[in-house]
Homo-oligomer: A and B are copies of this chain.
Amino acid sequence: MRKTILTILFVLCGIGRVWAGDEPPTPESNKNLIDLVQTHADYVWTLVAAALVFFMQAGFALVESGFTRAKNAINIMMKNLMDFSMGTLAFWAVGFALMFGATSTGWFGTSGFFLSDFSVGSDPWVLAFWMFQAVFCATAATIVSGAMAERTRFIGYILYSAILSAIIYPVFGSWAWGSLYKGSGWLEGLGFIDFAGSTVVHSVGGWAALAGAIVLGPRMGKYTKDGRIKPILGHSMPLAALGVFILWLGWFGFNPGSTTAANKDIAMIFVNTNLAAAAGAVLAMFTSWIRFGKPEVGMSLNGALAGLVAITSPCASVTPLSAVIIGAAGGVIVVLSVLFFDKIRVDDPVGAISVHGVCGAWGTLAAGIFNIGGTSAKIIGVQVLGVAACFLWVFPTAFLLFKLIDKFVGLRVSPEEEMEGLDIAEHGGNAYPDFEVSSYGGVGIGVGSGSAPVAEEVSSLEPVRQT
């Protein structure tokens, strides 16, 4: 039966003609077949890459969960499961049309809702392309989750997440990537370089995360009245580290897969991606070593992610040596940025704003500065414009959205629920019922969390207490 279906689909796809021929091959028929085989390779590569990018959802879930407390682990898994699931449906129904629609207002597309570009017998490329774009969209959405961890109402989160996937991400995406399918975009028209989305994906997520963290306010007990910053330790460094390894793996789909074609270019993109990640991890480790006196695990893990985010935009248009420099700089920047946001009391439990927002901006600028074909004030200017456009579109929109949700639905849980943990309060569950879990979130010297320990705190051996 399987064969029958395949045969039917084959014929429907209009390729039966090409293959079926019992007639002797000609150069023309061969050329058609060669194009077809190349197309098959493109499908395989694009979809394998999409699978790897999908897996990043697990990576984000583990990083976020590992860097936060045990009492919120179910909530984090639910948010990550749901932002992908709701996001998939939202991007199918609305987002893809806004981002890549053949007809457009100039600011967003207006056709192709519910994958209506595809029908039986039409070219299935739109499906492969949709799949790859859908997992990208979900990446942007899930980034926000980390910065808003441990205090957000679940209903508020999934509402926001669906709207980001349906509207906020696709609109900016249409400006920078619209022409990849049928649309077009004003930013790419100016020459904006963002090959795999340092800005389109990561900064969009990062600036929305910033808006969310500001509207929510910090977790209870994070910043004391006397001006001290209390580290709140993550509950499982092995899960966080596994998450980073999974993200690194997923990035081998994210960046090289953005060719959406099986070609030789993927090699350089792959190598650049790996070198930048390695350099980011090493430099963040040394930066934390110098700053805190010890090589800190949370910073090192975030350093790898910083390198990956930074190389995402320039991965196809810089040399491997440049990739090392870009990643290394990302590793330093992320440590300083985490400390900065902690200083200004924006509580980001996993460092998402720094990793994705700030390093996304850095990577986008780097794509102009280190451009393999040479750079110019104009190239860099366009990159700056793209970075600014992203911030100016995403931050105010997301800020408004969070304010509206806060007002009409409720964005933050009650202090009692926050203390009890979101797992019980929001989901009636317990992530680790067989284990003795301490209620106050752990003791430690402060450089074991994935987030923002300030140097002053490192010497303090006081446990974190919430009240």
Contact = CB atoms under 8 A, between A and B. Distances in A.
A182 interface: no
A25 B8 CA distance: 30
Interface in A228-272: 233-239, 241-242, 244-246, 248-249, 252-253, 256, 258-259, 261-268, 270-271
Interface stretch (A205-213, A353-361, A407-415, A443-451): A443-451
Nearest to A438: B434
* Chain A interface mostly: helix
Contacts of A319: 120
A81 B241 contact: yes
A295 B436 CA distance: 24
A296 B443 CA distance: 30
A177 interface: yes
A82 B114 contact: no
Interface string A107-142: 000000011001010001101101100100000000
Contacts of A58: 242, 245-246, 249
Residue among A233, A256, A258, A278 with max Cβ neighbours from chain B (10 Å): A278
Interface residues of A, number: 158
A433 interface: yes
Interface in A1-49: 1-6, 8-10, 13, 15, 24-31, 33-34, 37-41, 43-45, 47-48
A223 interface: no
A362 interface: no
Contacts of A30: 25, 27, 30-31, 34
Contacts of A130: 271
B437 A434 contact: yes
B294 A426 contact: yes
A108 B237 CA distance: 40
Given A74-B448, A433-B442, 5 more contacts: A51-B52, A62-B238, A77-B301, A85-B277, A296-B429
Contacts of A259: 6
B65 A238 contact: yes
A393 interface: no
- Most chain B Cβ neighbours within 10 Å, of A6, A430, A434: A434
Most buried by B among A8, A239, A279, A438: A239
B41 A262 contact: yes
A432 interface: yes
A293 interface: yes
A238 B252 CA distance: 24
Interface in A52-110: 52, 54-55, 57-58, 61-62, 65, 69-71, 73-74, 77-78, 80-82, 84-86, 88-89, 92
A239 B88 CA distance: 23
A409 B277 CA distance: 27
